[in-house]
Amino acid sequence: MSGIFGKLFAISTWGESHGKAIGAVVDGCPAGLRLSENDIQPFLDRRRPGQSTLTTQRKESDTVKILSGVFEGKTTGTPISLIVENTEYRSGDYEQIKDWYRPGHADEVYDSKYGFRDYRGGGRSSARETIARVAAGSIARKFLNEKCNTEFNAWVSYPTSENMQSAIETAREKGDSIGGIVSLQIKNPPKNLGEPVFDRTEALLAMAMMSIPAAKGFEIGEGFEAAKMFGSEHNKLGENHAGGTYGGITSGEDIFCRIAFKPTPSISQVQKAKNKNGEIGEISIKGRHDPCIGIRAVPVVEAAAALSFMDLILLK
């Protein structure tokens, strides 16, 4: 089971939802980047649960420490080891559902594939694993911002922001959850990134996005709308319908993507579930869960995009 992402800027992530800590080794970061924990912590804070009534009430400080790779305030080019301790893990919450596969979760396939199941919140399948991407991604973002003036901005675009709060609250009241769409703008991307055949910018971005837990769709530029357009419309100079890449290569225009997330599978509403013997029963998932994954996915989307870009820029 691999936790490695990237080739030249490779992150090796580790840690279970209910283990001692979570972390990442960032391999291939160029030397000379000014870096401290203060450059990483704000991104973890944005991702952190328990900040508003719209997200899960699990409280973790998620404090990052840098263990290597920085000397006299600057990266040295050597691997940067990042660690975040898990301070609050109430395994007890999961005891009651350890005999049932949670619907919409990886519990059943995980058990089938690996022959065991870490019933404490999904182990590596937990969204808590995204801490590693956000922490490592914040280094990528700093590098790209300082060297190329590139920015990664994401936001929840569905449900529409005006009624998002009420939609989420309604779902929460019913013990239910809703899906969401995250839009991503990459401002001032370096031009000439990506290659014309396999390592296309959009292919690497798609892979990064579709490896975020609960992601079900990815589109760039006009995306699925492009299917309904005429060539004469889509081609128009200066209108950037392609979303910033041609034949896999960045033009330097801003890049626009959208990522679809399914509704959080953990809901407290009573629902049908299977167990190891294939029997059907009913369960209600307690614990502290986000009614809308999309909200907390925002910094993860930004981080994943930045990580993709590091390989694109180093392979250039």
Q: How many alpha carbons lie under 13 Å from residue 245 in its C-beta half-sphere?
A: 26
The span from the CA of 152 to the CA of 159, in Å, is 21
Give me the residues paired with residue 260 across strands.
181, 217
CB of 43 to its own copies, least distance (A): 19
The span from the CA of 100 to the CA of 283, in Å, is 8
User: In angstroms, how far is the first alpha carbon of the chain from the final one?
Assistant: 29
Q: Residue 26: name the closest of 133, 131, 125 by CA.
A: 133
CB of 136 to its own copies, least distance (A): 12
CB of 279 to its own copies, least distance (A): 12
Tell me 39's DSSP state. G
The span from the CA of 167 to the CA of 159, in Å, is 8
Tell me 102's DSSP state. P
Q: How many alpha carbons lie under 13 Å from residue 88 in its C-beta half-sphere?
A: 12
CB of 154 to its own copies, least distance (A): 14
CB of 21 to its own copies, least distance (A): 5
Of the pair 54, 226, the CB lying nearest its own copies is at 226
* Token pair 């890449």: residue: 245
CB of 25 to its own copies, least distance (A): 4
CB of 141 to its own copies, least distance (A): 19
Of the pair 53, 170, the CB lying nearest its own copies is at 170
- The two tokens of residue 15 are 């840690």
Tell me 185's DSSP state. E
Residue 255 CB partners (closer than 8 Å, separation 6+): 184, 185, 186, 189, 201, 205, 220, 243, 244, 245
CB of 52 to its own copies, least distance (A): 19
The span from the CA of 55 to the CA of 166, in Å, is 13
- The two tokens of residue 52 are 């508003």
Q: What is the radius of gyration, based on Cα positions, of the chain?
A: 20
